[in-house]
Chains A and B, each alone.
Chain A
Amino acid sequence: MAAVALHEGQRPSGVFTRHDIHGDTVIDCDVVVVGSGAGGATVAAELAEAGIDTVVLEEGSYYQTRDFTADTSAMVRQLYRDGGATMAIGNPPIMFQEGRAVGGSTVINGGMSWRTPDPIHTDAIGNDNWLLKKGADAKGWKIIGNLRNQAHCVGSNRCAFGCPTGAKQSALVSYIPRALHYGARVYADVCVDRISRHGKRATGVLGHVRHPDGTRGPNVAVRAKLVVSACGAIHTPALLERSGFRSPSGLVGHNLSLHPNVKVVAIFDEDVTGWKGAHQAFQVREFDEQGLGVFAAVNLPPSVLAMSFPHRGAQLGALMQQYNHMVTAGLLCEDTATGRVRTIGGRPQAFYQLSKHDAQTMQRGLALLCELLFAAGAKRVLLPFGHAKEVASADEAHRLLDRPIPPHGWEVVTVHMMGTARMGGDRSAAVTDTHGLVHDADRLIVADASLFPTPIRVNPMETIMALATRAAAHVIDNTRRLLQ
């Protein structure tokens, strides 16, 4: 097994990596953007296009479409922060995933995008999603075609591990090339330690080159007239705290929402071959007013699915024999609880306690999801609890899920972290103003999901991009005040 599956080949002009930085370095620019995901790349492209000298710093490495392969665990190790092993502490603990590569989490998300009018071609819809639709139709529930930011998806179902065909329009293949085209510079492998400041004014950032083994390389200082923090809802509050920016509201790091997700695995008699077809072609939206934002079918590679089962030995082998008959379906809960990101030893640690109300909402959702899957023809469904309860009918699922389930029994994951530097006009109740400018600080903008005042019930990428575009427009309209 090769230790490094991805390679960093020829790079476009304007992209620099650890190989280019051999000693302590100072970079001058107008705007430095920390993070290159949905928020950072968007801001960078907009500002660069307006003629503003922009530098993007990204902790992860620079990879291109040709680097994305079917080797799932290699992709996870290289594209996910901490190899995907990040966790919000609570009962139950909630695993969350963040991208760490140029393009940020847009490289590894499902590509759900609610302003993109390009529908998925029917040929690219997989059987697992047709079964989801069949079940929803049988129940008479509202199901809609998913809107995804893809240009020519052929249904390889590898969205979460780097799109191997370049069809998913992640920031890596859309906003980053646009930013480069207009003169922005992107520094990969640079980890930002803190924002430098003069009084309340942000004057740049201080960081270091991060080697693949996690060791520290040369220091990098960027002197800038404006700093944009776009490193996500977990790392933005930590960066603000490490840099000594404390909101008058005292809410930096508070208000963490997660859109808790749970999944079930349904086993059908028929061949599903769920890995053929676009990732999440449909979403059931019947219950979105009841806190159950989305039901969707999400195929997982065999290794990731095997890892999620508590079975082992021959039992695991027998279960995995049915891999091509499985539909993995999940639901997203619009959470009412909030958690917190604390900075411990300079590193962020998320704390989040699933509320009883949200657990009940998810239990109700699971019962409904089971109903749908059995209506589509499922023979049995494995539920998302440590002991992997298995049910053989919708009635059995309802009976089981009507009883309270202790929090520690849940297996909850998420990829939507939001709200830790919430925006708002009232400086006593928000961290930033409505353009993302941090209250009580000068020339410091937040442009990522930290800004969300509440969970938004749908996949957040498009909203992050919209807020980042708005922040960039504000900068362009106020260059005298913000960039001189």
Chain B
Amino acid sequence: MTGFTFSNASRAVLCSLVPVVCPPEAHDLAAAIVDHMALTVGASPALLRRGIEAGLRTYDLGALLRHGRRARSLTGDAAERYFRSWERGPTPLHRQLAHAINQLMSLSCYEQPAMMDRRGHEEAADGLRRRRAPSGRADPRAGSAPPRAEEGARVRETRSDLISLRMADVRTKSGRFVVRATNVRDIDVAIRGHR
């Protein structure tokens, strides 16, 4: 994750928008919703992140013209009217910012545990976790044999035209090197540093 956080100004704007975008039962969760939005925005491309930050600053300042106050200070009907004016805004940029805020905030709102009233969904998910299968099979054609990681370096068949010494200078955490060598006896030797 990027560790992205909104600027204080953007965060204040977003917190003020929670009562506008989210259902009433989520209004107490404003801080958690905005934290979650930061995670989502942080995973998106840098250009989009910058666009959203710039858009939020413009949104904040734009309210000075209409309401004589910054958007972060608007409450109730004034906040609702101002957001609606962006939803129906004169340019696609106005509309897209309002749309993006609505989408991101709705996503983050319904990701809050308190909002995930899914009638047993969480319990079902917990049940599933207890029934997990092994991570994988060594060979899809070989039934359900578990992966044999310890044999991971063994090459079943080696042709003479592929024989070569191969070295991968990949240092492991312990500072050793992984060295792979294949000899004429179809033996693949892996000397691996302790990981």
Q: Which residues of A contact B (CB under 8 A)?
A: 1, 3-4, 12-14, 16, 19-23, 25-30, 48-53, 64-66, 69-74, 76-78, 80, 82-83, 85, 151-152, 154, 156, 158, 164-167, 169, 172-178, 180-183, 185, 212-214, 273, 275-276, 302-310, 312-314, 316-318, 320, 323-324, 479-480, 483-484
Contact = CB atoms under 8 A, between A and B. Distances in A.
Contacts of A176: 136
Given A85-B45, A213-B3, A51 B158 contact: yes
Contacts of B144: 151
Contact of B133 (A13, A82, A166): A166
Contacts of B138: 177-178, 181
A178 B138 CA distance: 5
Contacts of B86: none
B162 A30 contact: yes
A50 B133 contact: no
A77 B1 contact: yes
B192 interface: yes
Contacts of B20: 312-313
B148 to A, nearest CB: 6
A316 B48 contact: no
A178 B161 contact: no
A378 B144 CA distance: 42
A58 B32 CA distance: 33
A133 B172 CA distance: 54
Given A164-B129, A316-B22, 18 more contacts: A3-B1, A19-B173, A51-B158, A65-B133, A85-B45, A85-B48, A151-B133, A166-B133, A169-B140, A173-B137, A180-B147, A180-B149, A182-B156, A275-B124, A303-B108, A307-B103, A307-B110, A484-B161
B132 interface: yes
Contacts of A20: 170-173, 195
Interface in B98-132: 99, 102-104, 106-111, 115-116, 118-119, 121-122, 124-125, 128-129, 131-132
A1 B22 contact: no
Given A165-B128, A166-B135, A83 B107 contact: no
20 contacts: A1-B39, A12-B147, A12-B149, A20-B170, A21-B170, A51-B157, A71-B111, A77-B39, A77-B42, A154-B128, A173-B137, A182-B154, A213-B1, A310-B99, A312-B20, A312-B106, A317-B23, A317-B26, A320-B110, A324-B118
Contacts of B172: 20
A53 B135 CA distance: 24
Nearest to A13: B152
Given A83-B40, A165-B132, A314 B166 contact: no
B136 A166 contact: yes
A429 to B, nearest CB: 34
Nearest to A163: B133
Contact of A314 (B3, B24, B99, B121): B24
B43 A82 contact: yes
Given A4-B1, A65-B133, A77-B1, A23 B171 contact: yes
Contacts of A275: 118, 121, 124
